[in-house]
Amino acid sequence: MAALEKCLLPAQLQRCMIDEVALAEIVREAGRIAFAQWPGAGHDLEVWNKTPGHPVCAADIAVDRFLKRELSGLMPAAAWLSEETVDDPARLNGDCVWVVDPIDGTRDFIRGRSGWAVSVALVRAGRPLIGLLHAPARDEEWLAVAGRGAWRNGARLTASSRGTLAGARVPSTSLATADRIFASVAQPNSIALRIGMVAANEADLVATMRWGHEWDIAAATLVAREAGAEIGDSFGRPLLFNQRDPRAFGVVVSSPAIFDPAVKHIAERVKIEAARAAA
């Protein structure tokens, strides 16, 4: 993450008194811990279900514990929100909060596929200040700093600039009938990496239509925004982080010109899914 080590951090981040070089190394080490248990590298892995249909593995827990210890040591005043840690409402009173997914894309991780990443964001006043993704199985390190830009492996990112919805590249294993106006491209399990594809101009649109958690998208949406993409929930509303209920109803990430048309394209299905979720 050489770009992090060289970039001038914005005043908000400077006020958090963060050692950016140490932060980059902590995230790298978290990736190494995960990779050392990844079945794709030939390792055995302990897996169980947190709830039916929601797998977790020993690597999730090991990475979460490592990150909580190291990030809390790096910035003791920051609160904590993570997929693998019981939520503490005291985070709502914090000035800054770490929003962490130890392994985003657990299903790909468990299956030995490369579509997973460690995701770390530092949030202040509802907005990410810095976001880092480490995908060691892909040899990818992603970084965004609010107001300064986004990089992958040190190369500055410029998001998709597609101007029309029809033909937009969408990460997908199969397209719904209503979505066959799009062009399907490879889909990693990690939503963070899918969002990163828009930031890297490898996709034009990512849209989900169900409840998701802040830790899945906090780092990646900053990467996409700093690369020039448009971001919102499934209704097109702005995303805010470190909320009392740390969820958003879907996420839409796209080139700016197709954001409103994309929200309109999914609107009826979003209403149906939101009503179903509320029932």
For residue 238, what is the domain's CATH number? 3.40.190.80
When the pLDDT of each residue in the chain is averaged and rounded to a whole number, the result is 93
Contacts of 216 (CB under 8 A, 6+ apart): 83, 101, 104, 119, 191, 192
**Are residue 128 and residue 20 in the same domain, yes or no?**
yes
Could you list the residue range(s) of the whole structural domain that residue 183 is in? 169-278
**Are residue 137 and residue 181 in the same domain, yes or no?**
no
Model confidence band, residue 53 (pLDDT cutoffs 50, 70, 90): confident
Residue 7 has pLDDT above 60, yes or no: no
**Are residue 121 and residue 250 in the same domain, yes or no?**
no
**Are residue 31 and residue 84 in the same domain, yes or no?**
yes
153 and 199 Cβ atoms separated by less than 8 Å? no
Number of domains in the chain: 2
Residue 149 burial (10 A CB sphere; 0-12, 13-18, 19+): middle
Helix (H, G, I), strand (E, B) or coil at 32: helix
pLDDT tens sequence across 178-194: 999 999 999 999 999 99
Mean pLDDT of 143-147: 96
**Are residue 29 and residue 152 in the same domain, yes or no?**
yes
Which tokens is 230 given? 């448009």
Residue 163 domain flag: no
Last residue of a domain, one of 126, 156, 186: 156
CA atoms of 166 and 141, how far apart (whole Å): 31
